[in-house]
């Protein structure tokens, strides 16, 4: 029995060294923190990778550890006019209170439903189709959705809005 345990421990150590543990331990991007998104950005969709790169730009660094620390200390985030389409990398920044996302290519805001401290959200000039993901944010007191003139479905009412 002891021999089997030793062999198993050696095999496990070898596999961790050979295959790595960062993504093997948690391969679901929806459960990653920003550091995972950043380190594994070359494996992401083009849209998610672009969002990570814009977050690095805002953090004024290309170092993932440093960017993670900067973003964790920021309660305001301005990602306006950055051609962002995928908000999933923002989902773990739950401490954010003010978020500016106007002038992007955003359709799906469901990743924002995890931003439980969010107070102000500016998402105008995007093609958002459903506002219900932000309805249960307990501290949201102000949001601006405005201009949808460039959207193909601009005449279709937003889901969640009784207009």
Cβ(76)–Cβ(91) below 8 Å: no
Mean pLDDT by 10 residues, the chain (163 residues): 51 42 52 92 97 98 97 97 97 96 95 97 91 94 78 53 43
Looking at domain 32-144, its CATH architecture is Alpha-Beta Horseshoe (3.80)
What's the predicted TM-score (pTM) here?
A: 0.77
Angle in degrees, CA 41, 129, 42, rounded to 5: 5
Residue-level pLDDT at 31:
74
Instruction: Write the secondary structure of 61-90 as one string of H (helix), E (strand) and C (coil).
Output: CCCHHHHHHHHHHCCEEECCCCCCCCCHHH
């Amino acid at each position: 029995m002891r021999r089997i345990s030793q062999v198993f421990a050696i095999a496990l150590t070898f596999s961790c060294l050979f295959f790595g543990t960062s993504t093997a331990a948690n391969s679901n991007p929806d459960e990653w923190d920003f550091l995972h998104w950043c380190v594994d950005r070359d494996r992401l969709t083009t849209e998610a990778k672009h969002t990570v790169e814009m977050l690095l730009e805002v953090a004024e660094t290309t170092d993932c550890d440093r960017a993670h620390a900067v973003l964790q200390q920021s309660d305001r985030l301005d990602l306006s006019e950055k051609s962002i389409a995928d908000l999933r990398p923002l989902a773990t920044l739950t401490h954010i209170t003010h978020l500016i996302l106007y002038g992007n290519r955003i359709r799906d805001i469901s990743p924002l439903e995890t931003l439980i401290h969010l107070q102000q959200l500016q998402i105008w000039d995007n093609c958002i189709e459903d506002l219900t993901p932000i309805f249960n944010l307990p501290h949201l007191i102000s949001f601006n959705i405005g201009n949808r003139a460039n959207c193909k479905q601009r005449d279709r009412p937003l889901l969640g809005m009784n207009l």
